[in-house]
Amino acid sequence: MTTQENYTKTRLIEKLKNKTAVIGIVGLGYVGLPLILRYIEVGYKVIGFDIDVDKVASLADGLSYIEHIPSESIQNALKGGFEPTSNFSKIPEVDALILCVPTPLNKYREPDLSYVLNTTDSLTPFLRLGQVISLESTTYPGTTDEELLPRVESCGLKVGNDVFLVYSPEREDPGNATFTTRTIPKICGGYTAECLEVGLALYGQVIDKVVPVSSTRAAELTKLLENIHRAVNIGLVNEMKIVADKMDIDIHEVIRAAATKPFGFVPYYPGPGLGGHCIPIDPFYLTWKAREYGVHTRFIELAGEVNSSMPDYVVTKVASALNSVMKSINGSRILVLGIAYKKNVDDMRESPSVILMEKLRDLGAKVEYSDPHIPIFPKMREHHFELSSVALTADRIGNYDCVLLATDHEKFDYELIKASAKLIIDSRGRYLDSANHIVKA
């Protein structure tokens, strides 16, 4: 490393540590927005970039569009130096660029890196000497060095000398009151040792514990392992649920009993399918990449098959329950309780509730929903419902042929639902008793 190159790195680290660096965060959603608030909290100036002009306008007006982030926090951030924009020509003003954009799957269940690559292509014309670029989006091992590296260097800057490239996967858990952006340990891998050094300085001021790993690929695989671990174990317990149901055993009772063991067992809970932006998607990133190395990830793919089949299992239970009272799905009024992917949040990414609603609608059901966190069914790329959340009253609940508990929000009045519903399909194990009108699914 030459004297000039060493100066570039040293100067950037100095700016990051004394908080004179300007932080740029690309993607103002469930990952990017909490990160912005944390950088502002400790005294950095932050520019937030997003191509969604409505999001930018909302933030500029001090309004939050994420339930667990109050508008007051956005307003305080604006006072503290937060600038939301869709103008990428402001990229030269920042010293750090943190990419927090989606990495979904395409219709063939293959990685869709279009958001990451299009974003990177939008940034590269504006990159300058002395910046660090960090990718936080979940992806397969090799994305950072195979895809981002050549794009960054296409503008004449040498990674590791002129600019610095790291991968540091997000670990956000929306609505989790126990762990926050600050307290969740942060994995960080650099393309070079110099890149890692800068990456540790980037995150070390805002995260209590930053965990270095040897490479961007190691960091990428770490994120996948975390989520595949969960997906496989959820697949196991979902399969156990089906077996237990055939044996007339309550799987939730079994899990609660097994969880009393103080070692060697971690409880996972079955449900109507996988939701969120990580667990239903991330395993497929590794299985796709593994094929390049001639490896067939049978264990991971089997868990994916089991989890993907759960909405059909729940629909079958709905059909059977209605049949037992001389009704069919076709023509029945069905109320779905909870359309967020997990309880107590407004996050609908990959929500199995939406899949359930579509399957029931396709079978002729008249489907409505109630969710205290989502008053109006949002516009989604692949799912379309013109619905608003139904307020729960005894009379209204009693008018439905069936109530399907898909997401067990704490705000629901479960005693009211139990007392008023003709038929309840419980896919979350919320009801511990075995009333005649409650069917475990």
Residues of the chain with pLDDT under 50: none
Superfamily (CATH) of domain 3-214:
NAD(P)-binding Rossmann-like Domain (3.40.50.720)
Indicate the residue type of 400.
Y
Judge residue 58's burial from the number of C-beta atoms within 10 Å of its C-beta, 0-12 exposed, 13-18 middle, 19 or more buried: middle
Question: What is the model's pLDDT at position 258?
Answer: 97
- From the centroid of its chain, how far is CA 362? 27
- What's the CA gap between 257 and 261, in Å, rounded? 8
pTM for the complete prediction?
Answer: 0.91
Question: Is 278 labeled as catalytic in the residue annotation?
Answer: yes
- What's the CA gap between 125 and 375, in Å, rounded? 41
- From the centroid of its chain, how far is CA 144? 20
Q: In the chain, where are the structural domains located?
A: 3-214, 234-440
Question: What is the model's pLDDT at position 1?
Answer: 54
DSSP letter (8 states) at residue 1: -
Q: Which single residue is written with the structure tokens 């800057």?
A: 157
Phi, psi of 230 (to 5 degrees): -70, -45
For 146-169, how does the pLDDT look when each residue is reduced to its tens digit (9 = 90+)? 999 999 999 999 999 999 999 999
User: Nearest 5°: CA angle at 212, between 206 and 213?
Assistant: 145
Question: What is the model's pLDDT at position 226?
Answer: 94
Residues 6+ apart with CB under 8 A from 187: 168, 169, 171, 211, 213, 219, 222, 223
Q: 234-440, what's its fold?
A: Rossmann fold (3.40.50)
8 A C-beta contact, residue 84 and residue 56: yes
- What's the CA gap between 392 and 75, in Å, rounded? 33
Q: Are domains 3-214 and 234-440 of this chain identical in fold? A: yes
Question: What is the model's pLDDT at position 7?
Answer: 81
Q: Which single residue is written with the structure tokens 């939050």?
A: 64
Q: Annotated catalytic residue: which of 100, 188, 278, 402?
A: 278
- Does an H or E element contain 184, and which? none
- From the centroid of its chain, how far is CA 99? 15
**Per residue in 326-362, is it b (16+ CB within 10 Å) or e — as a string?**
ebebeebebbbbbbbbbbbbbbbbbbbbbbbbbbbee
Question: What is the model's pLDDT at position 2?
Answer: 57
